[in-house]
Structure 1
Amino acid sequence: MIQRLLKILQNIIVIIAEVIALNISIIWYLNTEEFEPIIGIVLMTASLVSSLISKIFIKSNTENFLKDDIECVSIGIDNKKCAWEIYDNVSNAFINNDTNKSPFPIFTFSLINHSTKTILLKEINLNAKHLYSGLSGLPKPGILKTIAKFKIRIPTENETSVFKLDNEIEIPSGRAFKFQIEVHEFWNKKYFPIEGRKVLFFTFHFNNEVAISLPKIFLNCKSEEEKMKISILS
């Protein structure tokens, strides 16, 4: 949004400068009736018309769409490759079943481009809310395997994990697209399985500075208000 405002401001400044230059040429001609200011008037008029056409009236094939044109159809979990499964049939809630599969959840996102334009997925942002989980053991270190297309670290509550796509995903008009994101915890140059209860907030960024926020994803819980279960160790 800030970049768009800066671009709009830059375009306005350019147009104002060209209008001022055109007025100066006109005043120069009215005061002197010389030939040189006529050349300036012609050049400034052509430049101003060109700026108005290119900066205001023409929109590229990939710019004329809104975030409402992009629909998130579903968010699933790849339980064939990871130990996470749907939690009590609650939408977008998943729980770690501690099987011998990968401890890192792999989400599958299905979206549809309803616009009449081709769009580009350029960046994925992730924020997280860490819910209180009570006493727990020390997390065991794990090794991350390349089993998902994108891998993103779960951030602390005061930061955002930003994943910029080296090769942007191009989605033609009217087409659905699906991809996977594997999330993990990472510190001291090591990958760790996810411990405790988390709420994940994904934001997908497309071209034209369009961003869509996806439904919340719950890990080891079914809502932010869910009461914590306390287990007494013997």
Structure 2
Amino acid sequence: MRILKNTITILAEIIVLILSTLWYLKTKEYEPLIAMIIGGVGLLTSLISKWFLRPRIVLHQQKTDWGRLTKGYTNNNPLIIRLGIDIPNQYWELFWNHILEIRNNSSQTAYSIDIKHINTPHKTYINEEIGKIEPLLANEKRDFKVKIIQNTTGTHIQADDYLKTNIKTLMKDAKILVKYEDESGTKFYTEYDWLTDTNKFKLFNNFKNKKS
């Protein structure tokens, strides 16, 4: 019902603006000019309210824990490794765990939610539990588990240094694009920057031709 009401209102304002413009062009009188101004302001107000009264999906990530698992010794070691003396080279599996929060930070329900991950590392595992036709209600949030894995070689000191510093390098170009709709079917986009933990609200998809 609200969709029909909003549509009728916008159509009526467009008709008023067109008719008053034609009237003014024909007569050059003040009355149609006033009607043009009123119609234009009304239409602009409706379009602006359409933008602000919209679902707004925001994302936020937080690192929960990280660590390393040894996968054996490399060939770059002495034949006999002296325990507590030598610092051997090993194969490492490094991991970083995050919680990715997705929230509908508005009073409007979001529909047809589609999430695209862009420029994430190869071994990025995301536990998403939201269906494409499942709505996200006003002020509702979901938490996704994200695990990033990297394999490397080196000493435990080098592995620890990698854990502390390289996650920013790995995720420096990572983005998340969320496409969603309001109840009238108007599409909106949220572009999330993983490294800066910031959201941008858009009306167009800037990543159509980019690989995810």
TM-score by length of 2: 0.38
TM-score by length of 1: 0.35
The structure with the greater share of residues assigned to helix is 2
